[in-house]
Amino acid sequence: MLAEYAVRVERTRGRRYPELPHPYRNDYQRDRDRIIHARAFRRLENKTQVFTDRISDHFRNRLTHTIEVAQISRTIAEQLQLNVDLTETLALVHDIGHPPFGHAGEKALDEAMKQHGLFFDHNLHALRIVDNFEMRYAAFRGLNLTFEVREGIIKHSRDYPPDKYPQLTEYLLDQRPPLEAQLIDLTDEIAYNTADLDDGYEAEILTVQLIRDGVPAFARAHAEAEKKYPDASEKLKFNEALKLFFNRLVTDLIENTRTRIKDSGVKSLEEVRNYPERLVAFSPVIDVERRQAKEFLYANLYFSPDLKADKVRAEEIVGELFHFWMEHPEELPSSYQSKAESEPLARIVCDYIAGMTDNFILAQQKRYIR
Ligand code: MG
């Protein structure tokens, strides 16, 4: 049962290269399957989420993070009667454009590009991957995904001003994305805010006390867990507290979005698109809690002394290799060398680096730098 404001697969704007319908999978299910079978998707397994030198195999990488986002997104989409297939597809593809070494890699790549008057943006890069770089079909380049999936790749997490991004005009930049795409930005946050507390605790960078002092919602949940399970181990109390916090975020996102949709009077996808703001949102109270958790993680985990060395090294490696290939384009794989005839060399070097896994870029550094 789909809500009246959900995306309907039978009304898709379709694919760039028309294809015959599949006998038993709808278009969004096919897109989901194309993404799961893409090489760029498999590479997520070896891309940093938070920890580059993972001292434990239990820490998230970008693939396990992606699976968690898909799980949360499906649950919420079902509750809101949104299109679950489209939502799942958008969740699975949402981080496919991330370079190696997480945000440090992204920052270094963007800085290197700025020296050539260009920039790096992981959503735009994701679109290049699915439209261009994946070579699986004899009939066309890329994965030939439906419009709604390509639109969601671009628009799920931010608005791109139409005057600054004329190359994205076809994605209706003056309109809001469908609710299925709006959802992904916030389920992404639920996933990493809770998972990074978990991994940070497991890494012994964060302690229960530190989190309690910095994240009031976690402190309340932890007090509740302690009361309910006074004899449980510290780790299990921590898990219970994190679960309560997690459920609080998910439940609020469902209920508050439902209320906002109702209050807006929006009754169709067209009205979702033309509504002046995004309708998927946390309530103001929970939004404060979400922000507190995020700020806590920035201050105590992402920019902690423990992760600083990894970050600095990651930025150096990306910067050095970028510079190396700019000076020695003959050392690029031949397929990239030929692309440099039609696009700026910096863009080609950027594409090459952005596609790498952590292991692959480390091997390149050994080979070319030292
Ligand atoms: Mg993500």
**pLDDT of 172 strictly over 80:** yes
| pLDDT value at residue 208 | 98
Instruction: Please tell me the distance between residue 3's alpha carbon and the centre of ligand 1 in angstroms.
Output: 26
Instruction: Give residue for tokens 């030929």.
Output: 338
Instruction: Please tell me the distance between residue 182's alpha carbon and the centre of ligand 1 in angstroms.
Output: 13
**pLDDT of 119 strictly over 70:** yes
pTM of the model: 0.96
Instruction: Please tell me the distance between residue 216's alpha carbon and the centre of ligand 1 in angstroms.
Output: 24
| pLDDT value at residue 57 | 82
| pLDDT value at residue 53 | 72
Q: How many CA atoms lie within 13 A of 322 on its CB side?
A: 27
Q: What long-range pairs does 127-136 form, CB within 8 A, spacing at least 24?
A: 127/97, 127/153, 127/154, 128/97, 128/351, 129/38, 129/40, 129/96, 129/97, 129/355, 130/35, 130/38, 130/40, 130/93, 130/96, 133/40, 133/351, 133/355, 134/38, 134/39, 134/40, 136/34, 136/37, 136/38
Instruction: Please tell me the distance between residue 370's alpha carbon and the centre of ligand 1 in angstroms.
Output: 32
Domains of the chain, residue spans: 9-307, 308-368
* Residues 32, 96: Cα–Cα separation, whole Å: 13
Instruction: Please tell me the distance between residue 256's alpha carbon and the centre of ligand 1 in angstroms.
Output: 22
pLDDT digits (tens, 9 = 90+) for 41-51: 999 999 988 88
Instruction: Please tell me the distance between residue 69's alpha carbon and the centre of ligand 1 in angstroms.
Output: 7
Percent of the chain with pLDDT over 70: 100
Instruction: Please tell me the distance between residue 267's alpha carbon and the centre of ligand 1 in angstroms.
Output: 30
Instruction: Please tell me the distance between residue 99's alpha carbon and the centre of ligand 1 in angstroms.
Output: 12
Instruction: Please tell me the distance between residue 96's alpha carbon and the centre of ligand 1 in angstroms.
Output: 9
The answer to whether domain 9-307 has CATH 3.90.180.10 is no
**pLDDT of 204 strictly over 80:** yes
Instruction: Please tell me the distance between residue 56's alpha carbon and the centre of ligand 1 in angstroms.
Output: 20
pLDDT classification of 54: cutoffs 50, 70, 90: low
pLDDT digits (tens, 9 = 90+) for 223-267: 999 999 999 999 999 999 999 999 999 999 999 999 999 999 999
* Residues 186, 283: Cα–Cα separation, whole Å: 12
**pLDDT of 55 strictly over 80:** no
| pLDDT value at residue 347 | 96
- Mean pLDDT, residues 95-108 taken together: 95
> Mean pLDDT score of the chain, rounded to an integer?
95
